Structure 1
Amino acid sequence: MMHQSLSTFSPTYLPSRFRLLAILGNSQGINLTEDEQSLKNLPYVEIEWLKEPSRQELHSMLHRKKWDILFFAGHSSSEEDLTTGNIAINSQNSLNLHQFKHTLRDVQQNGLKLAIFNSCDGLGLANALVDLRIPYIIVMREPVPDQVAQNFLQFFLESFSTGISLYKAFRQARKKLESLEYPGAIQIPVIVQHPTAQPLIWPQYQPSRVEQFVTLILKQYLRITLTTVLLVGLVTSVFILSPYSEFLCEPIGNCNTRVMEHRITKTLGQVNNLNDAAQSIAEIEEAKKILNSIADKINTLSPENEVYIAYINMNNKLYNRLGKENNNQQLLTEATKVAQKAIDDINQYSTVDEMKFAVTQLRKSTVKLQEITSKSLFNNRSKKLQQKYEEKIKDFNKQIEDKCKYRGHWQPKC
């Protein structure tokens, strides 16, 4: 019984007829019809639609009602440093979320529980919103094909609307993306959960006030009974001679806090070990998932508590590392794409100027890859690619030298 949690599990239910604001931005080159249909199929929801709104129309609609869910589909992008991002609200205008931060903070304070951006390159969007205390934010970490974005939204909403928790629905939807013929699709959707967020549940059957009152009384009775049994066991046991002697606290009122601190500290150690041993972004995300599982317990401690501070530091550490590794992954992908195109464009008929251009592109890619530090998950791959491109540069330079020795009338001056 020593390891039984004393915290109360209290999920947040969306209202029986909640409000969702659906913003459909610039749709040039993409198909938003499937997203629109997925939303229309949802039960227990009142949806307001904004299609390619102006900045003023969007501002007015956000303040007009209290929104439970904010949804955006269209084009978006992140700034290079991933601190913020832009959404294309119509074919002419893009909106930087930093410029709209005060409005979005008002929306959060009026009850916003979930923001979904089913659009490309959304890590900057999540970073811009993370300090607004929005309980849940869902974005796409990189440019996403129509099929992946549409299927994820369909899978997620179908699962979430059955009454399971939002986080579980998110995991199920990502897992279903494995069936798509698109490498790495499962890693594209990302969820950002505020440390104080409670599990979010789609409205189903709502108990009456009498039933809620009876349930509350029973929970309080069970909690008091469990606490009493634990405290009596702590005081009367022979823990002085056991590894659990740390729980013999004085005065007795501090025991609950000590037990909770021990449980959280143990989980923090597990998370730290997983983070240190991580060999992929998915493993870092798994460590973050375990850390999020104790978010409700943190609220029982004061902000000055050392364990509380350790939790916040670990949360920031994982969040920052995920941001850097996602940035490194994107950098690696872009550099590899440029270098591979330069290599593929060269053949036996290539001119000296074409080969010199290829050498320039390979050098640019090599310099870009050097930005990936030795502590990154992608360092070894970056080093191998740098070595490969250096060898290609030497090979191309040798071919340039040979061509210049036997220059034909068509060959530019070397």
Structure 2
Amino acid sequence: MAGKKNSIALLLSFSFVLLIGLMLILLLIQIPIWLLLIISLIIAALLTVNMIRILHQQFEQISQTAVQIANGNHSLRIPELETKEFCALGKDLNFMLEKLDKTIYHLAVHREELRLVLSSIDDILWSQSSEGKLEWANEPFQKLFGNIGKKDNVFYTDIIRDPYLLSIIKDCGSSKDKLMKEIVMDNHNYLLSASHNDQAKRCIFILQNIDEIKQAEQMKKDFIVNLAHELRTPLTAISGFAEAMEDNINETNTRYLKIIQNHTQRLIHLISDLEQLIRLERTAAIELQVINLATFFANIAFILSPMVEEKGLYLKIELDEDLPYLTCDPFKLEQVFINLVQNSLRYTITGGITIRSQKLKNEALFEVCDTGTGIDNIHLPRIFERFYVADPARNKTQSGTGLGLAIVKHIVQLHQGSITVQSELGKGSVFSVFLPLLQAPETH
């Protein structure tokens, strides 16, 4: 085979020597130069044609092998070729094919593993193109919506019939944002999640049945309501009897009685907050009205003035003249600012609280700023959770129920708004409430 590899080189060397020899002989017999050149060109052309034929044959071998490999015959390899350069190229291509075989094998393994994982998941999964064509769907999808088999060009609109789900999927196709939404379909609760694969121009959907979660949430709410109802009656009785006993006991027992009254009132407030939070969670309805913000906040200042004056603090209201009115549920929004100010009062020793308003492009911003002790950054992500108290030890005498800020967040979300907090230890806190500039519903 080594001889074959060097055949082209030997042929060229022999041809060159032969050409030189012929030229010398022709010169010796005094053939004209022009004839000598013609003979040399003919010989060179014949040699070139022969070399091109050999190279073309070897190129055809590589090309035919590549076509068969492309058609799926991955075990095929390029044979050893005569020309040294083509032989080296064949070896490099064979090495690349070995690497490609290993990659294809690993991809097949991972694909099978993914198939097994997807088939074992109870959640409904499917992928569709940007045009809505179903690319793949797992077994739970086909059980719920219908078997798609191995049909080509099946679109989600051919399988899914629920109008609300269809509208959400359509909206998701026109938006690149990640989607997460709760829906009710056939009397079952689902959580729909969608994410885009921009590279493949596909959208992947996950539909999870959350009936058990909803049932557990409802059981928890019912338990809290029943517990609150059962506790309110004895606590009210204890509070009433404690007040009746105030005039008939000595000074020492009066102090003990005061402790009983304080803790009883604290439990009653806790029950009231629990009941209010459950009521808010049970209904998403709000009664929108157009309110005058100056009058609205003047009323809040009047309600809170006894608590503010008792602590020797100030409460300032600074309203944006460009935002005289707001469409909201006034009773629920009043609770938001009362809770926020009361929360600030608990942890403000000197200075006071300022409520500011500002009109933004499409929303209104309300800030409740205090000069209190501030909140450590580690507590800020959880500050709106139920029963979460950032630092129970910092003001035990003024600690609340741990539900006030949770109620605030829920009411703000009912208004399609959001709330954030910025705080620094020793420098106070700023609670920012963002509310959309809604239109009040027309009345007839």
Please give the TM-score of this superposition, normalised by the length of structure 2. Answer: 0.22
- Mark the structure with the bigger radius of gyration: 2
The structure, 1 or 2, with the larger RCO (C-alpha pairs under 8 Å, 6+ apart) is 1
Please give the TM-score of this superposition, normalised by the length of structure 1. Answer: 0.23
